[in-house]
Amino acid sequence: MIVNEIESRLLNASIAPAQFSPTDKPITGSKYITYRNDLNENGTRAMTAMEVMKYPPEGRYNHFNRPDPFAGIEIKPHPELGATPSSSMK
């Protein structure tokens, strides 16, 4: 899966992970990849991070409860690089 390839390449290149945005949800096991479904109530435009911050933390990445395109996707451990998956934000 592409997310595992991206994660592996970032780890292999010794790129340090950044702090995750409080409006995003990391893909389970990822040290790098986060996402949010930030379409507005009508689904017509993306909301800014500042607009999303008004929602409770647990719902900021998908505040209108749309289908989660990354549900069930997780980054596999990278034992060859000495890396293990990070914990998921809930």
27-83 pLDDT tens trace = 988 999 998 888 888 888 888 888 888 888 888 888 888 888 888 888 886 655 454
For residue 31, what are its two tokens?
């040290």
Q: Can you give the residue ranges of every domain in the chain?
A: 1-83
Per-residue DSSP letter, 33: -
Nearest alpha carbon to residue 58 among 36, 77, 78, 39: 36
End-to-end CA distance of the chain: 23
Q: Which pLDDT value is given to residue 32?
A: 92
Q: Which pLDDT value is given to residue 54?
A: 87
* The total number of residues written for the chain in this structure: 90
Strand partners, 78: 83
Nearest alpha carbon to residue 81 among 15, 28, 9, 12: 12
